[in-house]
């Protein structure tokens, strides 16, 4: 697919300083996704059969692109769904899942009091919580997008010296802000953070020198 060139975003992160490529992946479908529940930063929501199938698809796609046992640094959100997704992909790539790093700054947006509740119930009370762009609107005590930006930029700065290519397993909203920071996406007028386009669950994006392209388009829910 076509490459997206850097925009005029206001993120302080300078993605072009990375010496390797970044494969940013969104985990597979979970039991919360299938049931229509707001997942947010819940730590343990296991994958469904569809979610495992999406992880298999990502693993096969990356194997075809990178070959066996590639020189790839592994990172993941510490949530169960991200680690399950990574385990399947790592097996396809002949890489050691136990060598992966985890960081809480890669977790999903915190939905506050709405976390764990059914979408239909919350929408019935307060109206839409998903925008037309597939962005989630958290509860008043939830996490704002500038806070997500701050934590992912901190992670980027702390791991900027990772050698070579790396694979990062994250979440729908957090990965969009992460990618937005890396490619210099414009600041969203409503959410005050750079936000990349949404992609279905089970997708992988390649980011290199401030530009991104879709390495594998997932078959899951899109975009939230």
Cα(198)–Cα(176) distance, integer angstroms: 7
| Both structure tokens of 132 | 């037309």
Tell how strand 101-102 and strand 72-76 pair up: parallel
Element (H, E) at 62: helix 49-66
Chain centre distance of CA 191:
17
Measured CA to CA, the distance from residue 19 to residue 139 in angstroms comes to 38
* Total-model pTM: 0.92
Distances 177 to 7, 51, 94, 122, 170 between C-alpha atoms, Å: 14, 22, 29, 24, 11
In tens digits, the chain (224 residues) has pLDDT values of 333 333 434 566 555 577 899 999 999 999 999 999 999 999 989 999 999 999 999 999 999 999 999 999 999 999 999 999 999 999 999 999 999 999 999 999 999 999 999 999 999 999 999 999 999 999 999 999 999 999 999 999 999 989 899 999 999 999 999 999 999 999 999 999 999 999 999 999 999 999 999 999 998 876 66
Do 217 and 58 contact (CB within 8 A), yes or no?
no
Total count of residues recorded for the chain: 224
pLDDT at 11: 61
Distances (CA, A) of 34 to 107, 148, 201, 223: 19, 25, 12, 14
d(CA 117, CA 184): 33
Candidates 95, 100, 92; CA nearest to 71 is 95
The Cα–Cα gap between 63 and 40 comes to 30
- Looking at the DSSP assignment, which residues form a beta bridge with residue 166? 22, 73
Contact, 91 vs 59, CB < 8 A?
Answer: yes
Q: Name all domains of the chain by residue range, CATH numbers in brackets.
A: 15-109+143-216 (3.40.50.1240)
Q: Two tokens at 175?
A: 């990965």
210: left (phi over 0), alpha (psi -120 to 50) or beta: left
């Amino acid at each position: 697919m076509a490459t997206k060139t850097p925009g005029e975003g206001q993120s302080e992160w300078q993605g072009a300083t990375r010496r390797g490529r970044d494969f940013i992946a969104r985990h597979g479908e979970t039991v919360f996704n299938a049931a229509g529940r707001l997942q947010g930063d819940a730590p343990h929501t296991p994958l469904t059969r569809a979610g495992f199938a999406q992880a298999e698809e990502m693993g096969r796609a990356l194997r075809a692109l990178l070959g066996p046992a590639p020189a790839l640094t592994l990172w993941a959100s510490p949530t169960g769904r991200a680690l399950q997704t990574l385990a399947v992909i790592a097996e396809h790539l002949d890489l050691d899942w136990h060598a992966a790093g985890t960081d809480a700054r890669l977790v999903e947006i915190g939905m506050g009091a709405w976390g764990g509740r059914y979408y239909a119930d919350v929408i019935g009370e307060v109206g839409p919580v998903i925008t037309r762009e597939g962005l989630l609107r958290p509860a008043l005590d939830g996490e704002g997008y500038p806070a997500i930006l701050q934590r992912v930029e901190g992670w980027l700065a702390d791991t900027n010296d990772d050698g070579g290519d790396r694979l990062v397993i994250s979440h729908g909203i957090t990965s969009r802000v992460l990618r937005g920071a890396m490619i210099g996406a414009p600041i969203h007028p409503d959410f005050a953070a750079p936000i990349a386009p949404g992609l279905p669950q089970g997708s992988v994006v390649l980011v290199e020198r401030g530009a991104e392209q879709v390495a594998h388009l997932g078959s899951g829910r899109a975009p939230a």
